Structure 1
C-alpha cells in the first residue's frame, strides 16, 4: 500500500471516528438531539474532498448499522427505522457537497468554507426533515403534521447548526492549507517511490 493510500485510509477513518465522538456531545431535544456530528461532517468534506469526505461518513454509518453504538441512540440495522436516520443519510450527501464546492475553488477563503457548509446544512435538512415526517407518520405511528415536523426537525436546531457551520468554516480555513500540503507531499512521495 502506498503512503498516499495509507494517508487516505487514516484520514477517512479518523473523521468517521470523530463523527462518532460528535454524536455523544449533545443537547437533548425532542426527536432530534443537537450534536456536534455536523462539525466533523463538514470538516471531512472541507479537508478530505468530496469523495473521501463522503467515504468517512459512509464508514461511520456502516459501522453504526453493523451494530456498534456510535449513533446518538445506539446502533444496529434497526436504526434505519429511527426518525433521525435521515440526518445520517444527509451527512453522507453533505460531506460530498461541501467537498465538491471547495474542490472547485483554487484558493478557498473563509467565506467559501462557510458558504459550502451552509449548502451542506441545507442538504442535511433536505433529507432529514422528510425522513423524520415519514418515520413518525408511517412506521412509528405518531401522527405529525408538516408544521410540527418542521418545528422539531428544523426550527429547534437550525440556529445552532448555522453557528457551527460558520465556526467550522473558520476552523477549516486554518487547517486546509496544512492538510492540503501534507496530502500533496504524500502524493509526491508515492510518485518518487514508483520511479
Structure 2
C-alpha cells in the first residue's frame, strides 16, 4: 500500500528582488555623483538620471527607499556624495538636493504608477515633475546654508542663478533621456517588481 504525500510551499522572491533593486539604484546614484561638471557650489552630475529611473522603474515606494538608502549610506560616512560623506554633510549647501532626490523619486514613481501603459512622454512629464520637487527643496536649502551657517551673504537672485539657472537646461535634457531609457526598461522592471510568489509541489511516495 502506498501513500502519496503532497508537500507544497511558496517561495517568495519579492523581498529579495526589492532589496536588490533598491540597492542597485542606490549604488547607481552614488556612481552618478562622480560623473560631474564642476560648477560653483552646485556641480552638475548624472545623479538625477538614476533618481528618475529609480522612480520610473521601481515605483514610488522602492524609488524613495533607494534614495533614502543612498543618503543614509553617505551620512554614515561612506564617501558617496560629490564631496565625500559623513554626518556633517547635512551642512553642505547641496544637501538639500539630496533630500530633493528622495522626494523626486517618490513623485516620479507616484505619477507613473497611475498610468496603465506609460509612454515616453508620460515618463518625461513625470521626470519634470520630479525635477521640480528637487529644485523646490534644493534651492531654498542652498540659500539657507549659504546665509545662515556658512556665513556667505547671498541674495536670492544669486542663489537662483547658481542653484537653478545654470543647471536646469542639463537636467531637462537628462529628464528626456531618462524618459527614453525608462520606456525601454519599464516592462522588464514591471514584471520583476510585480512577480508573484512561486508555488512548488513535491510528491513523495510512502
TM-score (normalizing by structure 2): 0.90
- Residue 172 of structure 1 corresponds to 182
Question: Does the Cα contact within 8 Å between 2:58 and 2:193 map onto a contact in 1?
Answer: no
Q: Encode CA deviations 1:50-80: one digit per residue, 9 max, x unaligned.
A: 0000000000000000000000000000000
- Shift of residue 188 of structure 1? 4.1
Q: Which of residues 163, 167, 176 is equivalent to 2:173?
A: 163
Q: Which of residues 102, 119, 122 is equivalent to 2:112?
A: 102
Q: Distance in 1 between matches of 2:26 and 2:107?
A: 17
Q: Encode CA deviations 1:137-161: one digit per residue, 9 max, x unaligned.
A: 0000000000000000000000000
Question: Does the Cα contact within 8 Å between 2:104 and 2:131 map onto a contact in 1?
Answer: yes
- Shift of residue 193 of structure 1? 5.3
- Residue 89 of structure 1 corresponds to 99
Q: Distance in 2 between matches of 1:180 and 1:188?
A: 15
Q: Distance in 2 between matches of 1:151 and 1:68?
A: 30
- Match of 1:49, SS state, is helix
More helix by share: 1
Q: Which of residues 108, 124, 130 is equivalent to 1:114?
A: 124
**Structure 2 unmatched ranges of 5 or more:** 1-10, 202-206
**Structure 1 unmatched ranges of 5 or more:** none
Q: Which has the higher contact order (CA 8 A, sep 6+)?
A: 2
In the alignment of these two chains, the number of paired residues is 191
Q: Distance in 2 between matches of 1:63 and 1:187?
A: 30
- Match of 2:196, SS state, is helix
Q: Encode CA deviations 1:17-71: one digit per residue, 9 max, x unaligned.
A: 0000000000000000000000000000000000000000000000000000000
- Match of 1:30, SS state, is coil
User: Are 1:124 and 2:134 matched, yes or no?
Assistant: yes
Q: Distance in 2 between matches of 1:74 and 1:105?
A: 38
Moved more, 1-10 or 170-179: 1-10
TM-score (normalizing by structure 1): 0.95
- For the aligned residue pairs, the C-alpha RMSD in angstroms reads 1.2
Q: Which of residues 77, 85, 89 is equivalent to 1:67?
A: 77
Q: Which of residues 21, 25, 30 is equivalent to 2:40?
A: 30
Q: Distance in 1 between matches of 2:127 and 2:103?
A: 12
Question: Does the Cα contact within 8 Å between 2:17 and 2:192 map onto a contact in 1?
Answer: no
More strand by share: 2
Q: Distance in 2 between matches of 1:30 and 1:182?
A: 41
Q: Which of residues 131, 141, 144 is equivalent to 2:151?
A: 141
